[in-house]
Chains A and B, each alone.
Chain A
Amino acid sequence: QQQVKQSPQSLIVQKGGISIINCAYENTAFDYFPWYQQFPGKGPALLIAIRPDVSEKKEGRFTISFNKSAKQFSLHIMDSQPGDSATYFCAASLAPGKLTFGQGTILTVHP
């Protein structure tokens, strides 16, 4: 059972544009929602994370929006750059460190 659903599967954005990736979860017991960036052949790197008692969190060009009632959260990348081209994963946690990942979104930012 896929507990975290992520969309779109792939995304193409022009340089300077906004990239938006969405995730939806089923289990209301999840209490921590991180986003990871992964380059080919590398391990995931933490971008930003949020708890369900917060509706929005911003760190630099990255913003998480969280809708607890809809059980949805999204990542916004402002001023997208070619160097942002990577695979992005949302995740959710029931217990510290134990993550359930979404299916991933391949982001391509064209110069």
Chain B
Amino acid sequence: GAVVSQHPSRVICKSGTSVKIECRSLDFQATTMFWYRQFPKQSLMLMATSNEGSKATYEQGVEKDKFLINHASLTLSTLTVTSAHPEDSSFYICSGGAGGRETQYFGPGTRLLVL
């Protein structure tokens, strides 16, 4: 299957700071990528759809000003958690599908811990 990478794999930051997470499709181009959040021992919840060259669309209840998404190229989407707080601590995972197909390949995830 296709390969999606994320960087960093884990990050610890102080409350009030901003953190950027990168999601890259390594062997395919993705006009659309998706960002999910997963709390410990819970399921994945879709946060937003990242669209190359246009604004991201956010799921209900997700603050777009807090979770900034930029999809600057066909292989890179970034999620910036602004003014992070301890309740933002979670596992953030991105996904993409080659050619917009339904089959989604997930990245390895980024563990964020906000102190």
Contacts and interface: CB of A to CB of B under 8 A. Distances in A.
Interface of A: 32, 34, 36, 41-46, 49, 89, 93, 96-104
Interface of B: 1, 4, 6, 32, 34, 42-46, 49, 93, 95-97, 100-109, 111
B43 A99 contact: no
Nearest to B96: A97
A49 B32 CA distance: 20
Contacts of B46: 98-100
Can you list the 9 inter-chain pairs with the closest CB atoms, starting with the nearest? A43-B106, A101-B43, A43-B109, A43-B108, A96-B102, A101-B44, A32-B102, A44-B106, A97-B97
Contacts of A49: 102-103
Residue of B32, B42, B101, B104 contacting most chain A CB atoms (<10 Å): B104
A44 B4 CA distance: 11
Given A44-B44, A101-B44, 19 more contacts: A36-B106, A42-B108, A43-B6, A43-B93, A44-B93, A46-B105, A49-B103, A96-B101, A96-B102, A97-B34, A97-B95, A97-B96, A97-B104, A98-B34, A98-B46, A98-B49, A100-B46, A101-B43, A104-B42
